[in-house]
Structure 1
Amino acid sequence: MAHEFIYSEIHRAEKLAENTQNNKEKQYESIKQTILADQTFTSDERSHAIKLINKKIDKYKVRENKGTRRTCEICQGKCLATLYCEYCVRNYLIAQFSNWTSENDNIDNLIRECQMETLKPDNIIEWIPYNNLRSINYLTDCSKIYKAIWIDGYYDEWDSKENQLKRIGYSPDVVLKKLENVEKANKNWIDEAKSYLNICSKYGEILTCYGLTKDPSDGNYMLVMNKSHMNLREYLKRKHNEITWRERIHITDDLTFALSKIHKNGVIHKNLHSGNVLFNQRNKQFYITDLGFRGPADRPSNSIYGNLPYIAPEIISGKEITFASDIYSIGILMWEISFGKPPFIYQEDELFLAMNIINGIRPKIESGIPLEYKKLMMQCWDADPKRRPNIGVLNNKIFEMRKHCQNISNDSNSNNSKNEGMIKKFIKKLKVFQPKTNDILEISEISNLNETDYKLFTSKVYAFEDFPEPRNGTEEFHNQSYNFSNSNNIDDNIVKMMQSSSIFKGSSKVPQIYSNEDIQVDYKRETIQQTKNVDIKDEHELYSNPNLHSEDQDELEIPWII
């Protein structure tokens, strides 16, 4: 059966229904009727699709605790699900508690609490014995991620005749993520882990986590997760020159929609970056992962953990992490989705980058980006958290852009003259600029960079002290041109601010920053300029508002957008 087609069609219909209707059960019923009437489905494909939708309906009813209840023939409980009884499933899992242990009370309690809140048979958090995993190999060197095969796989459905859970019957590929120092985990770490596992089981937009295991060779615990095909960073590296703006907006919509589910549950992600946004080839969807289990369980309480180019400036300066901190990270991701390269790609000195972020420096906005998208992106990375949009507003605006793109795509294949006015209106609203030659050159140059050459690709623990209050850049600073290879040309205000911070006092760090990394960048740019006769601009700039960039550029034709 064409599983990719089925999942893709269901996902597309769900996205439209989620943002246009209120009654979820009616949404799914509408989708079912559409599938039943679609003659392109084979009989087997249609049956499989209907079964998947019925599972989704059951999950929604149990998750939201609403809908028509029925009396279970086995336990006599008033259950909501129709394909199974949620109470029977939970009772079955509780009866198995004595049959397994992780040898850690915190982990045992974590898994048990999750199982007692299970929503459906194929979304159960469990303890997975390590000897049930085969062919374990490194997936990436940047973090402790492995691929493996899970013998017999996860639970798939409830057998009402045998009154037990049944596994899928084959051995799926999974991903293992090693956790550090779980034995020293505090209550906050455990609470975050539980929130992550609960949200994973509730929403399909968060990468599925099957449970935990333990590596006997070093005693470290590991997450067992659904396998994805690649992360967003790798996807953009491979496909940047192929994907259209319609696809870029679709990716952004996937991210904001998933984050809306996380924030809806009162949870902050705290470490959003392109390495933990994963792509599933089967349904062409991007998922957020790494919501919990962030960094070493015993990291200092006054430290921050994350991927520095995506960390909000207020966090660097010592403020509490908020929902708005996630929005800042989304803004940086929107830039990366636009231009296909990681932010601050040449800036390897972490202290200098942290100070730059505090002072309002953001990744450089090049040509070839829709105006509405650009304005949203810049609002997201504003230095003032209160000026950033909340996830509801952001997701709605991105979804409107996605709908416009879809309409343009449909209408571009039609000769209906009545649609011309709508198309022109969309083009005016979502103006897109021609990319310049030097922009394309920089992108192709970045595509040859290995992740191991760029140390800011990975998340780590930071402990910045005495940083100033974050600020947006000013137009005066924006218009200045710096030659960072010469420390005499560095803006005096930035130097004084850096030197006043305790992290730089009595240190030679400031001159090292400018004499080392930036000389290499300046030399690389100068070489390209001489050989290619093009002007390569700085990789980042200071911004204060969305109006610093000229909008007086040529519009693109519709096909480039869609």
Structure 2
Amino acid sequence: MIIEWVPYNNLQNIEYLTKGGISEIYTAVWIDGRYEEWDSKEQKLIRYGRQEVILKGLENVENANQRWFEEAESHLKISNKWPQIVQCFGLTQNPSNGNYMLVIDRADIDLRKYLQETQNQLSWKERIKIAHDITLALSIIHSESAIHRDLHSGNILYSKLNQRWYISDLGFCGPADKLTDSIYGNLPYIAPEVISGKNTTKKADIYSIGMLMWEISSGQPPFSYYENDYNLALNIINGMRPKVISGTPLKYENLMKQCWDADPSNRPDIDTLFDGIYSLLQYYQNISNEILQQETNNNLENNKIINNSMSKHINSTLFTSKIHKFKNLPEPKNAIEGMSRKFSKVFKKLNIKSNNDIQINYGKEIVEQQQIRQYNFNIDDEDETYDYKNFHSEEDNVFEIPDGKII
């Protein structure tokens, strides 16, 4: 695929669409369209013809360093090499203000809007297919030794023609001149170690996938009612995660929790995650349509209740990629680590003498959950949970359909 310069006068019907993060986004018609095929007789490339495209502004490119340009070029090549990534055809420049813009293939809808419009009609088979397409696309990005850095439901795009989900915005996340002591992204999807100031790695992308998996299950963005970025950042670092939606398949839940573990080394790599999602999709594809329809009907009312309760609280300003700058944040941890310290203080205050062997081997989880119910450590049971380590045995991971029901 050729990355080309698109003359601005070759674009028509340019209309403002929205503001995506710090970039203004427009729709347009590219008169000539992309290169489609090679005409061996005429010995020239044949163009597609009139084509709808997206124009995305690039901020402060003139101040970018050489590394930014090298990374941008590499990611452009990746996006045009693999069909699972939204294609970027090239660059153009608005002559009225001198701003550079990406010329990108246009999709039909993003994941956030799609879920909000269709959640009550989606079966688990359809939801897992979404997760499958996303993890497949990310596996390709990681195989090219690249990192996305800003995965969220606004840049997961759907093509009705191809019936496939794509990842977009690869390599152009944030301003070119972003300060080194700041981070850029959509806060609910940013990994805790990145929030606390560490470098972004592939495992940070995996954390974002965990948040997307939860959004696919619930139909709503995570932490949708938070008003304060700093409070949300601190809670994420301290182990707060969204509450698992009732009816979520156990295998899916386990993978999701592994993805959002506070310790990056505990998260699966993308190949392991993709294999898990793929096996789950295969399982659901072998289930009869009758059982799938029963499962969809059973979840319909539950999803309506979830969506109605969550939609009242959505803070649209939170779900925008932007620059964040947090100082003096603690090291990320899973909530069980922080809770254990709180419980030890409670035991001392109540003069509770516990047998360590009993606590470790017989009832640790039960004791801790009882203490959580008795003492309110700023946990809202209706909206978020301080996520515990996965206590399921290996036997729990086996797929079963007891009494014709899907779990």
Smaller-chain TM-score range?
0.7 to 0.9
- Which of 361, 372, 386 aligns to 1:542? It is 386
Kept in 1, the 8 Å contact 2:58–2:175? The answer is yes
Alignment match, 1:228: 107
For each residue in 1:292-350, what CA deviation from the matched residue of structure 2 results, as whole angstroms up to 9, or x when unmatched? 12211111112111100000001111111111111000000000000100000011200
Structure 2 gap ranges (5+): 343-367
Kept in 2, the 8 Å contact 1:367–1:436? The answer is no
SS in 2 for 1:165: strand
- Which of 128, 131, 145 aligns to 2:6? It is 128
Tell which structure's C-alpha radius of gyration is larger. 1
- Which of 332, 335, 341 aligns to 2:214? It is 335
Aligned equivalents of 2:186, 2:402: Cα separation in 1: 35
SS in 1 for 2:261: coil
1:264 pairs with 2:264? no
How many angstroms does 1:142 deviate by? 4.6
For each residue in 1:160-198, what CA deviation from the matched residue of structure 2 results, as whole angstroms up to 9, or x when unmatched? 222211212x31111111110110111221122112111
Kept in 2, the 8 Å contact 1:374–1:546? The answer is no
How many angstroms does 1:444 deviate by? 2.6
Alignment match, 1:283: 162
1:387 pairs with 2:249? no
- State the percentage of identical aligned residues: 49
Alignment match, 2:305: 441
1:161 pairs with 2:25? no
SS in 2 for 1:341: coil
How many angstroms does 1:213 deviate by? 0.6
How many angstroms does 1:447 deviate by? 4.7
Q: CA RMSD of the aligned region, Å?
A: 2.9
How many angstroms does 1:141 deviate by? 3.9
1:454 pairs with 2:316? yes
The letter for the 1-side match of 2:103 is V
Aligned equivalents of 1:558, 1:217: Cα separation in 2: 64
Aligned equivalents of 1:381, 1:220: Cα separation in 2: 37
How many residue pairs get aligned? The number is 367
How many angstroms does 1:201 deviate by? 1.5
CA distance 1:166–1:142, shift in 2 (3 Å): closer
Aligned equivalents of 1:176, 1:208: Cα separation in 2: 12
Aligned equivalents of 1:279, 1:559: Cα separation in 2: 30
1:307 pairs with 2:186? yes
The letter for the 1-side match of 2:386 is L
Aligned equivalents of 1:245, 1:253: Cα separation in 2: 12
The letter for the 1-side match of 2:85 is I
- Which of 466, 473, 476 aligns to 2:335? It is 473
Structure 1 gap ranges (5+): 1-122, 414-422, 484-488, 495-535
Aligned equivalents of 2:301, 2:285: Cα separation in 1: 29
Kept in 1, the 8 Å contact 2:237–2:331? The answer is yes
CA distance 1:328–1:432, shift in 2 (3 Å): farther
Aligned equivalents of 2:131, 2:231: Cα separation in 1: 29
How many angstroms does 1:150 deviate by? 0.5
Alignment match, 1:418: none
CA distance 1:137–1:481, shift in 2 (3 Å): farther
CA distance 1:557–1:166, shift in 2 (3 Å): farther
Aligned equivalents of 2:330, 2:299: Cα separation in 1: 36
Structure with a larger share of its residues in helix: 1
How many angstroms does 1:538 deviate by? 2.6
SS in 2 for 1:147: strand
The letter for the 2-side match of 1:338 is S
The letter for the 2-side match of 1:441 is I
Structure with a larger share of its residues in strand: 2
Bigger RCO of structures 1 and 2 (CA < 8 A, at least 6 apart): 2
How many angstroms does 1:439 deviate by? 5.8
Kept in 1, the 8 Å contact 2:122–2:296? The answer is no
Kept in 2, the 8 Å contact 1:176–1:225? The answer is yes
SS in 1 for 2:286: helix
Alignment match, 1:353: 232
Aligned equivalents of 2:403, 2:254: Cα separation in 1: 21
How many angstroms does 1:448 deviate by? 6.6
Aligned equivalents of 1:381, 1:559: Cα separation in 2: 28
How many angstroms does 1:559 deviate by? 8.6
For each residue in 1:482-536, what CA deviation from the matched residue of structure 2 results, as whole angstroms up to 9, or x when unmatched? 99xxxxx766xx9xxxxxxxxxxxxxxxxxxxxxxxxxxxxxxxxxxxxxxxxx9
How many angstroms does 1:154 deviate by? 1.0
User: Where do 1:18-29 residues align within 5 Å?
Assistant: none
SS in 2 for 1:376: helix
Kept in 1, the 8 Å contact 2:79–2:88? The answer is yes
Alignment match, 1:196: 75
The letter for the 1-side match of 2:306 is E
CA distance 1:340–1:238, shift in 2 (3 Å): same
Kept in 2, the 8 Å contact 1:367–1:434? The answer is no
Aligned equivalents of 2:201, 2:251: Cα separation in 1: 25
Kept in 2, the 8 Å contact 1:307–1:457? The answer is yes
**TM-score, with structure 2 as normaliser:** 0.83
How many angstroms does 1:437 deviate by? 6.2
CA distance 1:482–1:182, shift in 2 (3 Å): farther
SS in 1 for 2:318: helix
1:316 pairs with 2:195? yes
Alignment match, 1:405: 284
Aligned equivalents of 2:188, 2:402: Cα separation in 1: 31
Aligned equivalents of 1:332, 1:309: Cα separation in 2: 8
For each residue in 1:125-144, what CA deviation from the matched residue of structure 2 results, as whole angstroms up to 9, or x when unmatched? 10001111111112224541
Aligned equivalents of 2:302, 2:281: Cα separation in 1: 29
How many angstroms does 1:405 deviate by? 1.2
Aligned equivalents of 2:252, 2:383: Cα separation in 1: 20
For each residue in 1:208-228, what CA deviation from the matched residue of structure 2 results, as whole angstroms up to 9, or x when unmatched? 111111112221111111110
